[in-house]
Amino acid sequence: MRRNEIINELVPDCPIRNILARISDKWSLLVLYTLNKESVMRFNALQKSIPDISQKMLAVTLKTLEEDGFVNRKVYAEVPPRVEYSLTDRALSLLPCINSLIDWAKENMEAIIQDRGRSRKTENSR
């Protein structure tokens, strides 16, 4: 199934399932967070800011975010072509939620990792 065809067949009108299916992948939130650091970024700058993302995955993620109205893509008629990406007002309105999630993760990451370790020890001792 292509990413732009994600639909929950059981509850197709559920807004949280529909939106989370699009932005909770491995890269979307990271791309939005990274684009927020600069007002405008080019593809190569974005890729350098997220070193473990492949060129293909960045292109797919940007296309999906653009389709959903989170990212603006501006192409300049130059040789070679220049393409710039920026956040839309919709993405900017989502950023406080993303930043809250990041803050929560920072506060809880150590405890979660400790719990994972305890859980693995318990499973291994069975």
* Tens-place pLDDT, residues 62-116: 999 999 999 999 999 998 889 999 999 999 999 999 999 999 999 999 999 999 8
Fill in the amino acid letter for 9.
E
pLDDT value of residue 70: 97
User: Residues of the chain with pLDDT > 90: what percent?
Assistant: 64
Separation CA 97–CA 89 (nearest Å): 14
pLDDT value of residue 4: 47
Strands 71-76, 82-87: parallel, antiparallel or unpaired by DSSP?
antiparallel
Its sign, for the CA torsion 103, 108, 112, 113, is: positive
Specify the number of domains making up the chain: 1
What six digits make up the tokens of 121? 């020890």
pTM for the full predicted model? 0.79
In this prediction, residue 1 has a pLDDT band, given cuts at 50, 70 and 90, of very low
3-state helix, strand, coil in the chain (%, to 5): 60, 10, 25
Provide the residue range defining the domain that includes 120. 3-124
- Evaluate the omega torsion of the peptide bond into residue 80 and state whether it is cis, within 30 degrees of 0: yes
In this prediction, residue 10 has a pLDDT band, given cuts at 50, 70 and 90, of low
Q: Considering only residues 11 and 68, tell me which one the structure prediction assigns the higher pLDDT.
A: 68
- CATH, residue 38: 1.10.10.10
Report whether pLDDT(119) > 70: yes
